[in-house]
Chains A and B, each alone.
Chain A
């Protein structure tokens, strides 16, 4: 997908060309809107929604004053992001509870959307919140569908009512309600068979089941990978049944999930939960801003900028810079830099905020969250004297430091080498710029980066 790598990368290309301009021209906007349109379409946002959205964004972007710290491209990205969050967000997304004390949640969806797994996940989530849920499957079509639900229910010790031999879904539904009441459960989750909205017979079955169980909460399960049809699917179910909201599944995949935007914009109904894995507890609350970033494939650049500025201690940074200039950068200063970096959150979080990284998710095994901790521990195991004068670090001292910090001598050596290189680099740097200018890239330059 090299062609459509991610919106922010594209917009950065465009804005690179307009660096130095204080205003965004009509032509720039037009070019950017084209990229935005493509990015949204590649993310499977419905075409009609894209058209409306791009028109709005274009209007908002015209004549935008460029803020001091942001480039015009970022400014536009911000507008896009805000527009998306606007559509994706607001409305209360809490699950409805029946005032009668007996809540029925009914799940609908196309074949293979993930209804059965989601039903079990919801039941476990409610159980953890102190509810007493029961599960039932009225899927009389897919072989072993009911058994699948029963196995999942058993694995988390939640009652489940199934009738694998019964072919009448309405009958099973009626019996399930009776059973749930008999067991004094306060919530019944009804898993239905997957169906297409154009299948009138199957849609009629849903209505018949609905009459019997009288659902409090009618939720459509939507696969995050779904394409342009998302809107018609949502509208189809909503028209026939009257949905209360949506659950997005398979968000642990790398699909952008543009369907979330489409169905929010077209139906106005809330997204209540998201599913993010195959494990039975992989169900989460839904955050509009995260979804927006995901759809744009941009990584959360804005949060990253905000996080960096909010967390960096300006005074400390200025001090370190001052020392650098005077060539007094010590291990002590390196340590305080590690601490600054740590403040920005886990490396994985920070990396995922970088554009182009967002959805690609670096495999966990490639990230060493503890690298900074270990480096910091090594410095902390040094005496004050050693920190200010690393020249005295002979073999026996290094051995002691390794033992003290729970690392190896090799790691200690590597850190000291890193420090020396940073120092060397900074020496050249301070020679180059006499005092003036912006904060240099202190210890985290290419060679100085501790991981």
Chain B
């Protein structure tokens, strides 16, 4: 069943992405001021939306673990955070490429960029911490605390473009009262969010299976040691 869901999601996400790419690259006109490079927004924004909401989702699963002490929540939190970190890296990289063309520099130390980089470092530390603790319950507890503390920073980063004047553009999406884009230009962002979200669900499912195998191997090893 799991295999079928994964294949189904992959086919759907692949088809959606291909159709959306066609719209982005062949149908949409260049932006008036930025030219062709503005199209990076169709990857930068979805990647960061998924990264940021993934860190939040990881926090919810971490709370779920602390409340129930069920290790499946911990595995979910770890998988979601890992996938989110990949998306956050894509967001940082695409943002940097865009900045090089538009601002003339790869990086600017404004509040948005800095806080997002801090988040990336914190959740990178989260994954390193998981490798440093051997005992599964202890690992889950420590990781949950770091995930919850780190999510405070993710929220600061999310709000930073509203709280401070940043070099990073202010909100452009209509859900954040940005309204800076024409409807036809904004829609492909959301289609990409959907397609990439399907891919992240696939990645999380694969990662969850690895986690359950790892737990099984760990149990067998303990049993072998006990005898």
Interaction A to B:
no
Interface residues of B (CB under 8 A from A): none
User: Which residues does A use to contact B, with CB under 8 Å?
Assistant: none
